[in-house]
Amino acid sequence: MSRIAYIDGVYQPLNMPGILVEDRGYQFADGVYEVCAIRGGKLLDEARHLDRLDYSLAALDMPTPMSRAALQQVMRETLRRNRVRDGILYMQVSRGVAPREHMFNPDLKPVLVITARPIAADRRAQIIKKGISVVSVPDQRWARCDIKSISLLPNVLARQSARNAKVQEAWQIDGQGMVTEGAATNAWIVDAKGVLRTRPASHKILNGIVRQVLLDCVVDLGMKFEEKPFSLKEALAAKECFSTASTMSVFPVIEIDGQKIGAGKPGEVAKMLSDAYDAVEA
């Protein structure tokens, strides 16, 4: 079955042309996006994703392409037409189409694109069981990482560094040697004292949706926890490390830069928080 995309008001096969050359998303990466996990045909954390989409649009002075109710209807129709039970739904809003110049007309009509694709249902279970390895790379991104912008070239290069190293993710390191986040994930550790830590939400990281859910879970579980930056050195000495993102929820990290973390296998805290997230989403 051909995949179907929603592009600016039209449902059409994914391989058909749909974006104009002078779309500012194409020419300037002038746009934002969201990725929702689909599990059992259900969109996970839908309200939180739409809230963050509104936040990103407002931060870039972009209007919403349609009402939330209308957007949710398009999301579900895209899901239905693609018959996806387990996978991801991708939403992108560009500022619109206009002759190429840096300034923009605030009255431009935004362009909405939505796609959906399947992911093997057992892939997540395998990641929880086996864990992932990461490499560290310099953080080269702009100063507003809290906006989920489609301008992702530094993230692309970081992920390619991971691929070249034959690992699954890259953790980005700032000029002070502190871990900011992964190329496409938030970063967590259980430090040498047994305290769960992740960097506080600020302009320096994306406030991940799974991150938000797990912060609530941590409180409910009564875990020792701090929103506090940690260094690469602390991560290497940690009892446990893991990443989080909507695609797979929790990614236990068993190795950084070729060095085993803890026992070199997925830890108990990652498993506990994965189970807690699943319970919230059940």
DSSP readout, 85-118? SSEEEEEEEE--B-SS-SS--TTPPPEEEEEEEE
Would you state the pLDDT for residue 46? 98
In this model, does residue 85 exceed pLDDT 90? yes
What is the pLDDT confidence band of residue 218, given thresholds at 50, 70 and 90?
A: very high
Q: Please tell me which residue in 109, 129, 130, 148 is annotated as part of the active site.
A: 148
Residue 206's closest CA among 33, 43, 65?
A: 33
Round to whole Å and give the CA distance between 113 and 21.
15
3-class DSSP state of 133: strand
Percent of the chain having pLDDT more than 90? 97
Please state, rounded to an integer, the average pLDDT across all residues of the chain: 97
Contact 196, 179 (CB under 8 A): no
Give the domain ranges of the chain: 4-119, 124-281
Domain 124-281 in the same topology as domain 4-119: no
CA distances from 250 to 24, 137, 220, 246 (A): 34, 21, 18, 8
Whole-number pLDDT of residue 207: 98
Whether the CA torsion 190, 127, 266, 44 is positive or negative: it is positive
Q: Beta-carbon neighbour count of residue 26 at 10 Å? A: 17
Q: Is the pLDDT of residue 122 over 70?
A: yes
- Of 30, 281, 267, 227, the C-alpha closest to 129 is 267
- 191/230 Cα distance (integer angstroms): 9
Question: With pLDDT > 70 as the criterion, what percentage of the chain qualifies?
Answer: 100
**What pLDDT, on a 0 to 100 scale, did the predictor assign at position 89?**
98
Task: Decide if pLDDT at 11 tops 70.
Answer: yes
The CA distance from 218 to 241, in Å, is 16
**pTM for the whole structure:** 0.96
pLDDT computed for residue 2 by the predictor = 78
> Is the pLDDT at 1 greater than 70, yes or no?
no
| CA 94/CA 119 separation, integer angstroms | 26
Q: Write the single-letter amino acid at 218.
A: V
CATH of the domain spanning 4-119 = 3.30.470.10
Compute the average pLDDT of residues 117-142: 95
Q: Average of pLDDT values for 6-14?
A: 96
Q: What is the mean pLDDT of residues 48-73?
A: 98
At 184-215, the pLDDT tens digits run 999 999 999 999 999 999 999 999 999 999 99
- To the query of whether residue 109 is one of the catalytic residues in this protein, the response is no
Q: What is the mean pLDDT of residues 86-114?
A: 97
Give the pLDDT confidence score for residue 73 in this predicted structure.
98
pLDDT above 70: residue 39: yes
Q: Which homologous superfamily is 124-281 in?
A: D-amino Acid Aminotransferase, subunit A, domain 2 (3.20.10.10)
Supply the pLDDT for residue 17. Answer: 87
Mean per-residue pLDDT, 36-49: 97
3-state SS assignment for residue 28: helix
94: left (phi over 0), alpha (psi -120 to 50) or beta: beta
pLDDT (average), residues 61-88: 97
HSE-up of 272 (CA within 13 Å, CB side)?
Answer: 13
